[in-house]
Amino acid sequence: MAADLHSHSTASDGSARPAEVVRLASEAGLAALALTDHDTQEGIAEAAEAAHAEGIDLIPGTELSLQHEGGGMHLVVLWLVPGNGPLQNRLGELQSGRVGRNSRIVEILNDHGMEMSVEEVERKAGGGTVGRPHIAAVMMERRYVADIRSAFDQWLGQGKPAYVGRPRLNPEEAISLARQSGAVPVLAHPHTLGISRAEDMARLLDRLVDAGLVGLEAIYSSYRRHEREGYAHLARRFGLIPSGGSDFHGSYKPGLDIGSGYGDLHVPDSVADELKDYASIT
Ligand SMILES: [Zn+2]
Ligand SMILES: [Zn+2]
């Protein structure tokens, strides 16, 4: 049997609802599916209910963006049970940090003579998650900018006067909080780290293994066979379990299916079993 240990739903940036992702995984004949939405576990309850009905094993998880110079470092955290716990609580704090971020941006715009309040921006979001697009909409309405695009180009985009970065966990903290929460941290799609020299990769993996890293994603949709083998070999060299997943995003990544990726992905469910030994839930 096969598993898929990396997927996204509408709870973050996927196009399919959590229950739909589970249904697709079940149709694909998978034994286990991990739902790993970015920085949130909001989809887990719905997915778990669907998984129960479909008779498929749902692994609760999330995917975190971590502090890293020069590239994107993502951590897939598996068997993270929603509720209270060291990592779960820290994620809650980061969510409220997003609220703080919006008021900081509004403050900067106020300082530049653009009048608006956080409440106005919240009204624009209509009760949903408030973000920069809503701030841009208010700016446009007040004719401070011509359109949404120039709001980003002139003010809100990275490197612009009202840009406020999203707070991120540092890798050691995230990995160690995951382990303290009984979950299993896996370094996702290592090619996005932007590391080309073997000794730099070795230095980083030494650090992360010391912090408690358990797995490294080696079986990934966009990888060719030699890359999957190379990363699996690298993982074992550092005592890590070669993990795998499709990184399914529904129709936002066309041609990429749950379980089979672009057609040639296969993650044996024995991989999930091996990783689960490090989880403190049954
Ligand atoms: Zn990612
Ligand atoms: Zn992902």
Ligand nearest the Cα of residue 35 is: 2
Regions of the chain short of the pLDDT cut 50: 282
C-alpha 8 to ligand 2 mean position (Å) = 6
Q: What is the pLDDT of residue 160?
A: 94
Neighbours of ion ligand 1 (CB under 5 A): 74, 188
The set of residues, in sequence order, having a beta carbon less than 8 Å from that of 32 and lying 6+ positions away, is: 3, 4, 5, 56, 57, 58, 59, 269, 272
C-alpha 188 to ligand 1 mean position (Å) = 6
C-alpha 275 to ligand 2 mean position (Å) = 18
User: Model pTM?
Assistant: 0.83
Q: What is the pLDDT of residue 245?
A: 98
Q: What is the pLDDT of residue 155?
A: 97
Q: What is the pLDDT of residue 95?
A: 76
3 state DSSP class of 248: strand
Ligand nearest the Cα of residue 71 is: 1
Q: What is the pLDDT of residue 101?
A: 86
Q: What is the pLDDT of residue 88?
A: 95
Please say whether the beta carbons of 243 and 234 come within 8 A: no
C-alpha 65 to ligand 1 mean position (Å) = 8
